Chain A
């Protein structure tokens, strides 16, 4: 098992190098002059433009820029953004915010999604099953910003149960945004589990288990559910990466200073160092959580063994 994990982590290295170059190249390939975007409607002295281009290596070919970037990286320097701030500082400041948001969302998604999925899967065709079906369709189809602003207005402004925005109230600040971020995924989790559970309940081993007189709770809890969870665990593992990088809208609505916003701004202003720094970190998180999901398989299904 530990050899398997070590091998998977080693494999992550070429992936990270390849991905960082690919992203670097994509940012570089964006048309236009980032220095001009920086100034907007305001003019800049020609000498200032030249100085900024030199400072951020914008006049070098992309390979040279990348090598300079990697050269710095090897010395532990992630580069600086256009306002002169080290990218490492940006990451250190913003990752915890996004990680808290993503974890909150993950917990909400798992708890609500699993309960709804189990209820719907066991009692297929019942009132509760239909309720889950309709409500998940509804949740998936509301755009995140609509849900975000609606909940913010009713539960933040009208009935002040939650902070309207910001991170001033610690973990409590993350509940409403976490719920908003989790809605779509929670619907998928519920549906995935429902289908998987319904399918497994028709299997021979379930019939055998029932035939030998196991109580229904054991049949479902110990045998069927465990089997059905594999698909859900895969989804949740992969989803954490998505939640980390894809929270731009939620972070905007609830004014959370996370990475989503930072990457969005950096792409718009073509700050290659910021985009590469943060996304490479996110890719690592993604790889790591997929690995965790893979390891969990073995725990769920005794037939799976990693050598």
Chain B
């Protein structure tokens, strides 16, 4: 009885809202899938936050801005979407080297920016010098740290290591051999910039003039998004199938999902939250898609703390964690257990590289007993607040408690603004959460910044302050290896040492999930986390 009364009042409210609606009047404009060029059509795509920085490729290293930047810019090289191997589908005709130190880049003929200006060697050299100059405060500056003349501390307008040979050729000299350099050049900060950028960087950041398969039709409007259309003079092979993209900012993932179900959003890209992951595959059927992704989440050990200096302690902790239980129970399969430090999307990944990551409580107890770890003192587990890490870190704690008899307390009260400086000052008192995403598909992108001295903060993310001369040597050797096979083998050897000494315990890799409307087809993720391969998407007539 009471319920029906309540319902009637709610209905009353809604009815009055409807009356108001009638008074207010308002057009019923339709959206999504408007008619575009023949074989074109427009589709809508969500991003879930404003790009953190102006849309300049050298300053865009986070996922949402990257999705837009990758539509607007094509760097020197591209990657095969299946094998993730390097392909010369970008502006570079070739990148050649004799010694892995000096690279000669030859550009293809006929590439132009969206404003019609030609792409020359200077388009790259000037862009790279601008990005690397710390005075310009570009987030991607450190990607040039391997180039001769890079200065991460002081302003420097040009690096000696970049030399223009002619309009279509330039050379890059590195300070140490690095065979993976060509792989790196597919990343945003290595994109070319037109002269228009240097004339007015602010205006450019709102409405970039790139060289990619899509061009910007509008300025980026914060809180709303940007409209892109196909660049008809695009010189690359991966010409866009669709005529345009309506990039819409939808900050709440549940709202975005409702828009997809309601038919107003064509491509829904996200790491689907666990509560949706159980519904989405059934509800969407063959319009659901997913891909193992490269985001790596792990817990670092404070190696500066005497309690965690014995590798057996770290091995015991790692073996006491039941990773599949966490990825299934807490993430409903939207994460995959990590048994390697190299993610599944990259050549060199091994599904069982880490023997000390296999769940084995008995062995864990034995190792912990041998190490003489004081279990009477509680262990503090750290994670940054407000980022959804509470549940799984607590699960790790419960498993440690259950399997090793360790009491734990959660320290999830700091956000990144405090968390990272604390980690940098060696202030962590127990295992602490860290994450790393792929910038370029090389094992070096994970080993270098996370486990070598070159990666010590703030230059990299080696927050456990791990250092092992043997790892450094193997990584350096791999960097100088003449072939990729040899390099990968050496990286794996370095990885084996890391996975035995365990400065961090790998926990999981991400799985990107998404859905699309009936309006579009051929929607899939690129190897870059939640990035959609925009050029492949077709709009159904």
Contacts and interface: CB of A to CB of B under 8 A. Distances in A.
Interface of A: 30-34, 36-52, 55, 82-85, 90, 93-94, 97, 107-108, 111-112, 131-132, 134-135, 138, 149, 151-153, 155-157, 160-166, 168-173, 175-176, 178-179, 183, 186, 252-255, 257-258, 261-262, 268-270
Contacts of B417: 30-34, 36-37, 269-270
B421 A32 contact: yes
Contacts of B25: 171-172
Contact of A156 (B54, B262, B419, B434): B262
A80 to B, nearest CB: 10
Contacts of B421: 32-33, 36
Interface of B: 2, 5-6, 8-10, 12-14, 16-18, 20-21, 24-29, 31, 50-54, 61-62, 134-139, 141-142, 145, 151-155, 202, 205, 221-224, 248-252, 254-256, 258-259, 261-262, 264, 386, 414-421, 434-437, 449, 455, 457-461
Contacts of B31: 168
A130 to B, nearest CB: 8
14 contacts: A37-B415, A37-B417, A37-B420, A43-B459, A45-B459, A48-B138, A51-B136, A83-B50, A108-B13, A135-B9, A149-B258, A171-B25, A175-B24, A254-B255
A93 B13 contact: no
A153 B261 CA distance: 9
A70 to B, nearest CB: 24
Contact of A48 (B18, B141, B259, B436): B141
A38 B14 CA distance: 42
Nearest to A130: B5
A135 B5 contact: yes
A149 to B, nearest CB: 6
A105 to B, nearest CB: 11
A33 B420 CA distance: 9
Given A43-B142, A93-B223, A135-B5, A83 B252 contact: no
B517 to A, nearest CB: 13
A134 B1 CA distance: 12
A38 B153 contact: no
Nearest to A136: B9
B258 A172 contact: no
A111 B258 contact: no
A289 to B, nearest CB: 21
Which of B16, B17, B151 has the most CB atoms of chain A within a 10 A radius of its CB? Answer: B17
A47 B154 contact: yes
B145 A257 contact: no
A125 to B, nearest CB: 16
Contacts of B264: 163-164
Nearest to A53: B137
Contact of A41 (B6, B27, B53, B434): B434
Contact of A107 (B20, B141, B436): B20
Nearest to A160: B262
A261 B449 contact: no
A45 B221 contact: no
- Which 7 residue pairs of A and B lie closest in terms of their CB atoms, listed nearest first? A257-B223, A47-B134, A32-B417, A172-B26, A32-B418, A135-B9, A37-B417
Nearest to A115: B16
B81 to A, nearest CB: 24
Contacts of B12: 112
A258 B251 CA distance: 12
B278 to A, nearest CB: 16
A84 B20 CA distance: 40
Contacts of B258: 149, 152-153, 156-157, 164-165
A167 B207 CA distance: 22
Contacts of B437: 41-42
A229 to B, nearest CB: 20
A84 B54 contact: yes
B154 to A, nearest CB: 6
A57 to B, nearest CB: 14
